[in-house]
Amino acid sequence: MSKVSNGFSAFSKAMNVIKVHSSQAVRLPPMQHQTVLIPSTSQPSWGGYSIFDIKEKGCSIHEITIKLNISPITGLTGTQANFPNYNPSFFFLQRLEVVINNNILDTIYPEEQWLRNQLFEYDEKRKYINQLCGDYSNAAQRNALATTQSEYYIPLWSLFKQTHLFLITNSHEIQLRCYWNTAVNNINVGTLTGIPQSTINSGVLMVKLSRHSQGIIQNNLKDMHPTSPFHSRFTELRYGTFTVNAGTSSSNIVLTPIVGPVAFLMFIVRNSANLNGSNYWNFQSVKDWAILDAASTNITGGVQITHKDALLLLNKDNTVSSFCTEANSSVYIYAFSGNVPDVIHSGRSLGYHYFQGNEQILINFNSQLTANVQVDVYAYCDAAVEQSSHFVKKISVL
């Protein structure tokens, strides 16, 4: 490619030369963009443990999706419209650990993964994702999947979407350690009777990657010298779950598990006695809330944030979808960064508040609680993957 006058660039291919505007002129190294299928190393099963190994080399990893083949639900009698059905496939997992070079770089939780895809994908793309995993808002679609042998997809929103990690040596090999939820917690039977039966037949990874030329591989290997390793930013999840007992109308929750540079924080409230079926994704509203420091000083604007302020005013900027306008979709987000969607997609640092582990969430409920509730808090901290030719590890970023 060569530069010519008036902002145009000339391209040569074989004997043809074309002249285009500089806005269309891009220089890219040679690469192949592929989606590869990698069978599970061990068999996934309800309530069990299995692993996937990614040993690809000379490539950048962009996205990883788990694809499961699952039997129809059997063992039930009776008739009820749209039953039986499975939960959306995100909830098939209990948790998933991303391991590189025997270091756990990140832990993935099902509710949080489901929330990322509902909040931070535009509605058009969110529609595709919900069809892949079983649409939470369409029991008829999930019933149709559950009455025949079907494939379910779990698109993982992992550090690879932010870092596009370059894999070169054996030290860069990835292992996904999957702890599976039980079938009972993921099968909804309605008024049907009997003992539901279900089997996970097989599991495979669908890995979206780009393969690089030998020259690019060697250049990147030089950037990964052990004395001067390469870094890739991502938002590390810090997670805490707390119980608030019935009989109270407000609660101060000390965020002991959350330490580090928090770009943004979100929380949900659910009935802790009934965490199954659609209650996985039906969230209770609160009257108002605030985040306090160790001295009980409000650090989120000086006054409590009301339910409507949070869901409609703040979340119109904190999210990119219309999810928070739906029923039972009370997800409360507070941003210390300048742009939550940009942070969660790119891993860029756009500001943070450093949590010491003694901050609190003050929650005022709409009325006195008649049952215990569970409050799940998800904090997204600035972090980075440090990568050399011989090791990979996670570091905090300040």
- Tens digit of each residue's pLDDT (9 = 90 or more) over 116-142: 999 999 999 999 999 999 999 999 999
| pLDDT confidence of residue 26 | 80
Residue ranges and CATH numbers for the domains of the chain are 31-223 (2.70.9.10), 232-387 (2.60.120)
pLDDT band at 277 (very low <50, low <70, confident <90, very high): confident
**Cα–Cα distance measured from residue 241 to residue 291, given in angstroms and rounded to the nearest whole number:** 16
Kind and range of the H or E element at 117? helix 110-119
Q: Which pLDDT value is given to residue 323?
A: 98
> Can you give the pTM of this predicted structure?
0.93
- How sure is the predictor about 396, in pLDDT bands with cuts at 50, 70 and 90? confident
Specify the DSSP class assigned to residue 113: H
Q: Which are the contacts of 86, defined by CB distance < 8 A and separation ≥ 6?
A: 70, 73, 92, 134, 142, 145, 146, 152, 186, 187, 188, 198
What the block records as the tokens of 217 is 């591989």
Q: What is the band of 17 on the pLDDT scale with cuts at 50, 70, 90?
A: confident
- Are 156 and 66 contacting, i.e. CB atoms less than 8 angstroms apart? yes
The pLDDT assigned to 39 comes to: 98
* Burial degree of 1 (CB within 10 A; 0-12, 13-18, 19+): exposed
User: How far is C-alpha 385 from the chain's CA centre?
Assistant: 17
How far does Cα 11 stand from its chain's mean position?
A: 40
Best CA proximity match to 123, nearest among 320, 276, 294? 320
Q: H/E element holding 141? A: helix 139-146
Mean pLDDT of 199-228: 95
* Token duo for residue 276: 């199954």
Cα–Cα distance measured from residue 333 to residue 248, given in angstroms and rounded to the nearest whole number: 23
Q: Over pLDDT 70: what percentage of the chain?
A: 96
Overall average pLDDT of the 298-324 stretch: 97
The residues that bridge with 22 in the sheet, in sequence order, are none
Average pLDDT, the chain: 94
Edge-to-edge strand list for the sheet holding 2-3:
2-3, 8-13, 16-21
Question: Is the N-terminal amide bond of 39 cis, ω within 30° of 0?
Answer: no
Q: Are 325 and 312 in contact (CB under 8 A)?
A: yes
Task: Give the separation between CA 369 and CA 250, rounded to whole angstroms.
Answer: 9
Give per-residue pLDDT as tens, 317-375: 999 999 999 999 999 999 999 999 999 999 999 999 999 999 999 999 999 999 999 99
Backbone angles phi, psi at 234, to 5 degrees: -155, 165
